[in-house]
Amino acid sequence: MNPSHKLYWLIGGVVVLLVVASAIGRILRVRVKDDNAAAVVDNLNARVRAWWSMVAIFAAAFLLGRNATIAMFALISFFALREFLTLTPTKIGDHRALSVAFFVLIPVQYLLIATNWYGLFSIFIPVYGFLFLPSISVLAHDTEHFLERSAKIQWGLMIAVYCISHVPALLLLQIPGYAGETPLLMFYLILVVQMSDVLQYVFGKLFGRTKIAPVVSPSKTVEGFVGGAASATLIGAAMWWITPFTPLQSAGMAFAIVLMGFLGGLVLSAVKRSLGAKDWGSMIEGHGGVMDRMDSVSFAAPIFFHATRYFFT
């Protein structure tokens, strides 16, 4: 099978999965009686509906090719940063720095991927963004909360732009014997992260008893995490045939992705709460905002990228 045939099969597989999920949602909706359970099922169905749209957008971008995929992630970063900064208190003195972040840093970061400039891609935001954004803000001569404001803007950029851009950056990797197949690696990463999130949710709803971090993220349970992490790792191992890894290596990679995704969900939930919000936004029905869906991806992507780059190129 060549890479694009594999991609068709994978997208077909996801569609089958969604059909099954939609059918289960329908059946549950008819069978539940009390109001509490009905609310859970309605939310579940809203989430599944939103998944149909998300899968459609991703599939379209993947099928349109490399530049479309990079552009789609640039847009995701744009929406994610917008959600982050909407909740972050900034002042009029940050106005120019914020404009630069949105209209210069996001396009440049993704153009660096499109033009294969790995060296600058990997330091652009941590070095140049880090030094020059506060330099722009300082020109407004406002010292009130200056450190907090600069730090929060940089944090938002690191998560929403730098970390998320490591998903399409997988296209840059030159893995021996895997030429032309890097889009599949991207598919693998997103599939494992999202399946892990979904399965943790499902296991948590079915068997969840013991809360892991009730203050930070009340819906996360030990049972949900163990069940979800184990099954997502198994799914990752079973998908070895679309990666440059052996089945065992693939299990290890999937486990690293699952673990980082879990930590990302936890850390960003704490950030969200410290900013006084329950959801990042309301763009995706049933899920919340774009950041609510990308929190685990943002932590998993850079680690997966560098682990693959270090061991396989």
Partner 1 sequence: MWLSYVLIGSVRALLGATPRWVGSKPEQRQRIYFANHTSHIDTVAIWSALTPDLRAKTRTAAAADYWGSSALKRTIALKALNAVLIDRKRTDPQADPLGPLHEVLDAGQSVIIFPEGTRQPQPLPGAFKSGLYHLAQRFPDVELIPVYLDNLHRSMPKGTYLPVPLICTVRFGAPLPRIPEEDKSAFLERARTAVIELAK
- Interface with partner 1 by CB under 8 A: which residues? 78, 82-83, 85-86, 90, 92, 95, 98-99, 102-103, 281-282
For partner 1, the closer of residues 134 and 227 by Cβ is: 134
Q: Please identify, using beta-carbon distances, which residue of 160 and 212 lies nearer to partner 1.
A: 160
Nearer of residues 9 and 103 to partner 1, judged by Cβ = 103
- On the 0-12 / 13-18 / 19+ scale of CB atoms within 10 A, 112 is buried
Looking at residue 81, the DSSP 8-state letter turns out to be: H
21 vs 97, beta carbon nearer partner 1: 97
3-class SS at 246?
coil
Q: How far is the CB of 290 from partner 1 (least distance, A)?
A: 11
User: What is the Cα–Cα distance from 142 to 12, expressed in whole angstroms?
Assistant: 55
* Residue 145 DSSP class: T
CB 300 within 8 A of CB 193: yes
Write down the least CB distance from residue 119 to partner 1, Å: 29
In this complex, which beta carbon is closest to partner 1, that of residue 26 or of residue 91? 91
Query: Shortest gap between Cβ of 211 and partner 1 (angstroms)?
Result: 31
Residue 103 C-beta: closest distance to partner 1, Å: 8
Amino acid at 44: L
Could you give the CA distance from residue 163 to residue 87 in angstroms, rounded to a whole number?
A: 19
Contact 171, 113 (CB under 8 A): yes
* Shortest reach from residue 106's CB to partner 1, in Å: 10
Question: Residue 88 carries which side chain, given as an amino acid letter?
Answer: T
